[in-house]
Every structure is written in structure tokens, then in C-alpha cells.
Amino acid sequence: MTRFLCIWVVLLGGLLSVLSGFSAAAGAKHADCLWYTQPAAKWTEALPIGNGRMGAMVFGGTASERIQFNEDTLWTGQPHDYARPDAATHLAEIRRLINAGKAKEAEQLVRSSFLSVPLRQKAYQPFGDLRLVFPGHEKATDYRRALDLGSAVARVSYRVDGVTFQREVFASYPARAIVVRISADQKQAVTLSLKLDSPHKNSQTRAIAADVLALSGLVQEDGLRFEAQLRVQATGGRVVVDGSGVSVEQADAVTFELVAATSFKNFQDITADPAARCAVDLGRLKGRDYASLLKEHIADHQSLFGRVSLDLGRTAQADLPTDKRVAQLKAGGLDSDPALASLYFEYGRYLLIASSRPGSQPANLQGIWNEELNPPWESKWTTNINVEMNYWPVEVANLSECHGPLFDLIEDVAISGARTAKSQYGCGGWVLHHNTDLWRGTAPINNIDGVWPTGGAWLCQHLWEHYLFTGDKEFLARRAYPLLKGSSQFFVEYLVKDAKTGWLVTSPSFSPEQGGLCNGPTMDNQLVRSLFNDTIEAAGILGVDREFVAQLEKVRAQLPPNQIGQHGQLQEWLEDVDKPDNNHRHMSPLWALYPGADITPADAKLFSAAKTLLKWRGDGSTGWSFAWRIPLWARVADGEFAYRQLNLLLTKRTLPNLFDLCGPFQIDGNFGATAGIAEMLLQSHVRIDAATTQIEFLPALPKAWPDGLAKGLCARGGFEIDLTWRGGVLVNAVVRSKLGQPCVLKYGVHEIKLQAKKGESYEFDGRVVSKTKKHE
Ligand code: FUC
């Protein structure tokens, strides 16, 4: 019987680790499962699956199962330009007031005349629910449910009256469908009824074929229309599909295929026919059997997930159900369960694959999972930390393709952001403030803290990072550079002289979510400098735009430098007004330390000032604020404090299904911590020169992880790396070069330059490169 595969993997893993005395080989497999001995009592206990475009939460009830699903283009609203038409006419006055020290008056004027229309953006919507009822299954025994991260299949199994039932649910990217399989170890045992419904009031179901049930509806008048279609295939037994749902009696097994679509074509056009889209998707699946769908799905998922693995050691805690492990952290902390840290890392990779695949929307505040009509912060894309954090692990964790949806979004906001640049500021190029939604809103929203014009500049860093990791010149020329140039163009026209210092600054602006309106907060200066650096370098590589480059260089020289204040701290603002021990959740002025790369030990004074600010900030509060502190502390080589933040995140801000909590569920912390763990083990942000990357091994290894193994992590310059360490010391690093670029390998004080050849592998023991061999 194939019952509950991952338990066997766990047992086998434990056995192997005992036999080998070292958990590396077995632990990696063991780490790939979330499992429970009871169904989810609420949404935040259910298990997420996703194919980038469709997501679902599987509750795993026995007598009644709920599978709540989403499709990533179902939002409130319709195509809309949020920019305030006459905003630019107030810009000079707002700037004058800020320069005159009258920030409060400037804020009043911003509130009355400068914010978006309407003030708030639109919300991501739940789509529907599959509700299955299994008569007589109230009293089940031997209950197990699990999410196997390696195969991306959610499984439920239990026994009723001597029969073992099994459910498997997965979201297939190649099949563009969610597939549900219900089977039993005895013939004719599967009897159930199913309803398909939606929280959208006007939705309705109808039978559109003997084996297909459809659900259709409308989010709002003039808004998005949606349709889901569900096909049922039973082996044996009787199936009836009518307008009210599906009933199956005495089948051996049943497979449901669920497809879903909306009328969304792009952010300016919602004229697609969702029913026709569903028919195409379902049509493609006709004649496919369950085994072939499952096989194709696992192969697709493994092609991404299988690239990386992480083992940080394991204890007996790792044999417990996942919710118990999370609960036990309160007593023992993460030290008692190092395998939970690696599971969290693997889960981050899993969640990214599930919520961001080529062609989908990018992962939003909740990834792709949402059950609420009014989700927190509309479950949209917040650009002053959250959406970027979602994509921090993508390159280092070898999921480069999953970056695609974010690049698609940047291309969209460059279009809507060009309109905003004109209407808000009378400038060319494009601008994005602190949020965007399905309609690619780019104007400042909500309140004065929405007046933060560097969201687009931050997103541009992702384009450049993708190039640094992949060396893809075609991507640089065709996609990245035009966007970098457009964003730079905006700042060249928009930056204005600060009355006191004479520097060219953003104005009006805001240091994310604290202070008031101001000129040139440190984070903005860092973002604009980094944007200009990247644009200039990209133009050089591509051999284009000499004059524009000269102009950027001239403006760059007039940007405010990072300043060190009276307490030895990196200043958050142009003026030295920081309050010691301000432990705000946002780490904005530390952007250049991480995810930026401009603050490094090369400038010892600045590096130390950044560290002072980092210390002031102390521990995190929201999930993502713990998560941001992990790579920051890793960048200052303090593995213990980085680990402390991870420990607190898992102990205080983690749900039973390992979803991160901001206040409510918010997925950024999952992704930020995944990137943070990688940053503790491997760093490659320091560039010796334009062609040479420094790759540093175990820069911030905490005592709690003395032995470990990380496979398949990526470094800038096109390197893939496997690491083994014992007793806190690097044993071996295998470095595979995909591009043939030189690098410096660094471990502690030892550095060695390597003229890597494309396609070659090198082994490094912390001091010398000992041998080379060919790799595929
Ligand atoms: C920013 C954060 C909040 C939350 C929201 C989505 O405003 O400061 O904590 O993460 O985004």
C-alpha cells in the first residue's frame, strides 16, 4: 500500500542517519514533508498547493473536505488609471513647503491634492470552494495528512470500517489544473457528493456535460467575470452531475480536474471569455489518465525543486507532526529542532514555485492563497519591502525562471508608471510608488506614506540581479535595460536640489512608514544610486547610450552620500535626527547592506555605522521584519544574531502550516527567511571588479548548525555550489561554473582567485582548489 509515503521516508531517513552517524544524506529527504494527525480546523492550518496561476488550500476533513481555491487574476475593480490628473500643478508648492521646514502644511496639501484617485487600490479575490461530503466518514482512524514538498502533492489518508481511503491533491503547471484523486483499498468504496461554490454572491453552477460541472460569476458590475469547470472521472460506480453538484456512488476511485479562468487579458483589457478559456484547458486534458497527470506534474515540479537541498542536522523533534514541532519551539527554541529551519527553507522554495511560474502573476502579499473578500492590505503588491522580499530567494535558491512574473509586472508598471510620471510630476520615464495591484496602479496611494517614489527603482534591482546571476545578455538588452533606462530617465528629470545641502534629492518622499514627508531619505538615495550604477553598467555592456550615461554620471555625483550621524549611526534622513534604539520594523536605510550591495567592509566606517543602526533596530516584530534582519545580520557576519531572528520568526510568527504572520498571514516572511538562510551559508554580492565575483562560504554560520550540507545554491557570476561542513568548519565546496567567469573563493581569511572555465567544476576545501572535473 502506498499509504502515507512521507512517513516511510521519515522512518527510513531516521534509520539511515543512525547508521551513518551523520544526517546529511537522509535528512535532506526527511526535511521535505509537512504532516499532521488531524484535519485543518481553519484556513491557516490547511495546506497550500499551487501552479503559479491557480492555488488551493486543502483542509483534509474526513466526512467533509474543503478545497478552497484561487486564480491569480481574480480581483475587484477594472482597468483604471489611478494617477491624479492635476497633481503636478501642486508639486512646486509641496516642495517649497518641505524646503521651508513646513512639512505639516506640505502633508495637508498632499492629502488634499496629490494622492491617487481613488485613494485605495483594489483587492485580490477568493475564487471558490470544492466541498466534498463523504457519508459515514465521521469516525475515521489512522488519520494522516501531509504536504510532500518534493512531489508537491497534498495527501490525506484514514481508515473507516476497515477500508483505507486516500486523497491526493496537486496543482499541475503543465496541465493548468488542480487535480483531486480519491481512492480506497477496496473496490466500490468511494461514495461522495461534491458542491462547487464561490463567496461571490451572484455565482452559480450548472452542468455543461454529463461529466462536467461549471461555476460562473462576476466580481462586480463592469468587473471581472470568472468561470471554473470541474470534470469528474470515476472508475466503476455511478456518477451524476447536475446543476447542484456531483454525486458519486460506489466507485473504486474518482478523479476531479478543476480548471479556472477570468476575463482578464491584461491590465488594460478584460474582454476574455472565461468559459471558452476553461473549455480549452479542460479539452487539453481529455483522455489523460490520473497516473500520467501525476507523473507529468512531479517531473515538472522536480525540475525546479530538485535543484537544491539543505540539511542542517536533525533531532528527534523532527519525527513529530509539523504543528507539534512549531508548538514545541515555544519551550525549546529552534536549537531543539534544526531540521525545522531546513524545512522552512525548503518550504520557501516550494511556495515560490507554487505561486510564481512563467505566465502567472507574481507572488502577492499572500502568495496566491486568499480566502477573504477583504484581505489584509488587499493582498496586493507592496513595493516598500514586501514584494521584493518575496523574490529574494529566487536566484540564490536556483529558481531563476520563477522571477519571470515579477519582470512581466515591471513591464506593465513601466507603462502605467509613465502616465503617473507625467501627471504627478510632469516627468518622462516611469515611476512606481509603494503599491501596485492587478490594474498596475502606480500613483501614491492611501496617505502621505504612499508618497515614496522609489518602488520602481527597487524593482529594477531584480532585473540587474537576474543578469548578475545568469549572465543573460539577451535578457539584459531586450527586457532589463529599457526598464532600467526608463526608471533612470524619470529620476534624472525629477530629482531636485535640496535647499539646505544642494544635493539632488527625491522630493516629496518618505522613509518607509516612519517620520513625515521629507527630501531625500537615505533609502531613496541608495536606491537611485544603485539604479544609476546598474543602468550605467548595463549600457556599457550593451555598448549603447553614451550621452545618457554621461548625464547619469553627472547626476549621480550630486546624490547625497550615505551619512554617519552623531551617534556613529548610518543616518535614516538627510538631517541627523535619528533616535537611538529606534527599533522600527522597517530597515530602510540598511537597504544598501541588504538587499543592496553598496555597503561592504571595504568602507569600514560606513560598515560600522550600518552595524550601529542594525543594533538599534534590535529584534523584529512583524514576520517580514524578523526575516529582513536575517540576511542583514548575515551580511555583517553575525550568524548568531541572524539565527536569533530566524528562531524568533519561527517561534512567534509562524502558523501550524508554516505560513508566516505579519499580523495576519503574509507570505513575505517565508521568502525573506529562505533568502536569509542562504545568505548565512553563501554570499556573492561583493564584486572584485566588473567580471570577478567574490564567493564567500559560511560567512555567518551559527553554532546551532555545526554540521550541514547545502546543494545547488547559486552565486552571482553564474556559479552553482554544493557545501559540506562539519564541526562548524567547511569540509568541501564544489563550485560549478556555468559562464566561465573568474571569481575569488573566500573562506574566513583565506582567499583564492579562480579563473573558472565554463562547464568546469572545482573543489575548494577552504584553502586551496584541490581538483577540477567536467560537469554537464
Ligand atoms: C507595509 C508594512 C506592513 C505590511 C504592509 C503590507 O506597509 O509596513 O507591516 O507588511 O506593508
Concatenate the DSSP letters of all residues of 342-410 into one string.
HHHHHHHHHHHHHH--TTSPPPBTTBT----SS-GGGG-EETTTHHHHHTTHHHHTT-GGGGHHHHHHH
Sheet holding 708-715, edge to edge: 309-311, 708-715, 719-726, 729-737, 760-764, 769-774
Q: Is the CB of 121 under 6 A from ligand 1?
A: no
Q: Is 80 exceeded by the pLDDT of residue 647?
A: yes
Ligand 1 atom at minimum distance from 585 CA: 8
Q: Is 60 exceeded by the pLDDT of residue 175?
A: yes
Ligand 1 atom at minimum distance from 376 CA: 6
Could you tell me the pLDDT band of residue 20, with boundaries at 50, 70 and 90?
very low
Largest CA distance in the chain: 82
**DSSP type of residue 660:** B
Q: Report the pLDDT averaged over residues 244-273.
A: 98
* pLDDT tens digit sequence for 667-706: 999 999 999 999 999 999 999 999 999 999 999 999 999 9
Distance 670 CA to ligand 1 centre (A): 15
Q: Which of 378, 380, 513, 626 to probe ligand 1 with, by most ligand atoms within 8 A of CB?
A: 513
Q: Report the pLDDT averaged over residues 186-197.
A: 98
**DSSP type of residue 87:** G
Q: Is 70 exceeded by the pLDDT of residue 122?
A: yes
Q: Report the pLDDT averaged over residues 544-567.
A: 98
Distance 672 CA to ligand 1 centre (A): 14
- Residue 727 phi/psi, 5-degree rounding, is 55, 30
Ligand 1 atom at minimum distance from 449 CA: 7
* pLDDT tens digit sequence for 284-293: 999 999 999 9
Q: Is 70 exceeded by the pLDDT of residue 124?
A: yes
pLDDT at 770 (0 to 100): 80
Q: Report the pLDDT averaged over residues 622-649.
A: 98
Could you tell me the pLDDT band of residue 1, with boundaries at 50, 70 and 90?
very low
Q: Report the pLDDT averaged over residues 157-168.
A: 98
pLDDT at 332 (0 to 100): 87
pLDDT at 620 (0 to 100): 97
Could you tell me the pLDDT band of residue 11, with boundaries at 50, 70 and 90?
very low
User: Do 617 and 626 touch, CB atoms closer than 8 A?
Assistant: no
- Residue 667 phi/psi, 5-degree rounding, is -80, -15
Nearest Cα residue to atom 8 of ligand 1: 513
Q: Is 60 exceeded by the pLDDT of residue 637?
A: yes
Q: Is 90 exceeded by the pLDDT of residue 25?
A: no
* pLDDT tens digit sequence for 298-349: 999 999 999 999 999 999 999 999 999 999 998 989 999 999 999 999 999 9
Could you tell me the pLDDT band of residue 773, with boundaries at 50, 70 and 90?
low
pLDDT at 774 (0 to 100): 59
Ligand 1 atom at minimum distance from 666 CA: 10
pLDDT at 632 (0 to 100): 98
Strands (E), 402-531: 435-436, 496-497, 504-505, 509-511, 514-518
| Distance separating alpha carbons of residues 701 and 731, to the nearest angstrom | 14
* pLDDT tens digit sequence for 213-236: 999 999 999 999 999 999 999 999
Handedness of CA 503, 506, 509, 515 (dihedral sign): negative
Distance 640 CA to ligand 1 centre (A): 26
Nearest C-alpha neighbor of 207 from the set 217, 195, 199, 225:
195
| Distance separating alpha carbons of residues 528 and 619, to the nearest angstrom | 28
398 versus 4: the higher-pLDDT residue is: 398
| Distance separating alpha carbons of residues 148 and 83, to the nearest angstrom | 45
Q: Is the CB of 622 under 6 A from ligand 1?
A: yes
Strands (E), 471-584: 496-497, 504-505, 509-511, 514-518
For helices 668-681 and 338-355, angle between their N-to-C axes, nearest 10 degrees? 120
Nearest Cα residue to atom 3 of ligand 1: 662
pLDDT at 227 (0 to 100): 98
Concatenate the DSSP letters of all residues of 57-78 into one string.
EE---SSEEEEEEEETT-BSS-
From the CB of residue 541, how many other CB atoms can be counted at a distance below 10 Å? Answer: 14
Q: Is the CB of 664 under 6 A from ligand 1?
A: no
- Lowest mean pLDDT of 6-20, 97-111, 470-484, 485-499, name the range: 6-20
Q: Is 70 exceeded by the pLDDT of residue 24?
A: no
The number of C-alpha atoms within 13 Å of 190 and in the hemisphere containing its C-beta is: 25
Distance 613 CA to ligand 1 centre (A): 21
From the CB of residue 155, how many other CB atoms can be counted at a distance below 10 Å? Answer: 26
Distance 377 CA to ligand 1 centre (A): 8
